[in-house]
Amino acid sequence: MYNTKAYSAGSATSPFAPTVISRRDPTEHDVQIEILFCGICHSDLHTVRNEWSDLMRTVYPCIPGHEIVGRVTKVGSAVSKFKPGGIGAVGCMVDSDGTCPECHAGFEQFCPNMVLTYNSPDKHLGGVTYGGYSDSIVVDERFVLRVPSNLDLAGAAPLLCAGITTYSPMRRWGVTRDKKVGVVGLGGLGHMGVKFAHALGAHVVVFTTSPHKKEDALRLGADEVVVSRHADAMQKHASSFDFILDAVSADHDINAYLQLLRRDGNLTLVGAPAKPLAVAAFGLLLGRRSLSGSLIGGIRETQEMLDFCGAHNMTTDVEVIPIQKVNEACERLLKSDVKYRFSIDMASLKSE
Ligand SMILES: NC(=O)c1ccc[n+]([C@@H]2O[C@H](COP(=O)([O-])OP(=O)(O)OC[C@H]3O[C@@H](n4cnc5c(N)ncnc54)[C@H](OP(=O)(O)O)[C@@H]3O)[C@@H](O)[C@H]2O)c1
Ligand SMILES: [Zn+2]
Ligand SMILES: [Zn+2]
């Protein structure tokens, strides 16, 4: 074991504070990474505030962070994909059994023995796993991704969650040229949804509660922007969408969006509000519409997404911050005040 610096939250209401944690020495299949950038996902906030306690209780101290890019510092003897000095990336998962039907199908995110990057039982050290708000991490090579060399690393880090979570359902539901696609909520996930839908050739409409985000939405690739509080503007799009991606982090009325789907259209939820959402039956019955969910993406598809971003020279729009500003950043994220992802420059942790 070795020690590394990190920022942790001691309870659901405590701010983040500096700490020192232990990481395992790399085993033969492990890659040790010096973390250069880590994005701040709204899931970090839900977890730190224990908002998903019905599904998974948060264990404290909690060290979130699952949008990790860094420099490889050491590799185990059996590692073939990475060498010291190269760049490696880690997303929401650090392990799975590798043997079940989900793993064989490339859906590690649904493996019954999947280990999340943070707040999952740590089978090596006991306790729970600790995420990327830290200086260094050790991860099985199967869960380390390659970052195309043309991508800016601060902007690439959030692709590991915000990127794959929006890319995967768009591929699954056939977002292509000439499809009409809606994206609800212009945050970290939403703005990547806009970029992917645009890159895939769709006609993209952004639904936002923040009128001041309109210019940005158009710049990011939206063809139209609707302020969702304006009922008339919403009504103009009734029964017209092939696909809508809902990336809202808080309670909201999804029926307002279901009625915008055309026959056989689909609304996929990726946002994960703490409370259940109400669904009006006729919103689905009329037009044979469907409502579904999607959880990040498997490792193979995550690499495909990174390569897609490399080919299209795409990254997330980031505000790079030192880790000392993490509490302020979380306050701003709660107010939907970020353009459009915070990426922590982990060099700031070295100076502590
Ligand atoms: N399914 C998965 O695998 C997965 C992966 C990662 C994250 N998530 C979840 O996805 C959600 C979004 O994450 P994120 O990191 O993109 O968060 P974020 O950056 O905070 O964006 C959320 C956006 O939702 C909108 N919003 C916020 N409060 C709202 C309210 N009360 N009513 C209506 N709209 C509201 C805002 O957009 P406007 O200002 O444009 O309205 C905001 O920018 C979170 O719940 C997160 O846990 C799920
Ligand atoms: Zn995330
Ligand atoms: Zn499995």
Dist. CA 55–CA 75, nearest whole Å: 35
The enclosing H or E element of 22 equals strand 16-23
Report CA(137)–ligand 1 centroid distance (Å).
27
pLDDT tens digits along 224-280 = 999 999 999 999 999 999 999 999 999 999 999 999 999 999 999 999 999 999 999
Report CA(271)–ligand 1 centroid distance (Å).
6
Which phi and psi (to 5°) does residue 188 adopt? -60, -50
Closest-CA residue to 90 (of 63, 111, 118): 118
Residue nearest (by alpha carbon) to ligand 1 atom 8 = 271
Q: Which two three-digit tokens encode residue 266?
A: 């689909």
Contact 167, 196 (CB under 8 A): yes
The response to whether residue 333 sits with its C-beta less than 6 Å from ligand 1 reads yes
* Residues listed for the chain: 352
Q: What angle do CA 160, 305, 71 make, to 5 degrees?
A: 45
Contact 44, 343 (CB under 8 A): no
In the chain (352 residues long), the average pLDDT of successive 10-residue segments reads: 98 98 98 98 98 96 98 98 98 98 98 98 97 98 98 98 98 97 98 98 98 98 97 97 98 98 98 96 97 98 98 98 98 97 97 84
Give the 3-state secondary structure of residue 66. Answer: coil
42, 172, 337, best to mutate for ligand 1 pocket (most atoms within 8 Å of CB) = 42
Report CA(205)–ligand 1 centroid distance (Å).
17
The response to whether residue 337 sits with its C-beta less than 6 Å from ligand 1 reads no
Peptide bond into 211 cis (omega under 30): no
The most distant pair of C-alpha atoms in the chain lies apart, rounded to whole Å, by 63
pLDDT tens digits along 292-317 = 999 999 999 999 999 999 999 999 99
Which ligand is nearest to the Cα of residue 297, counting in written order?
1
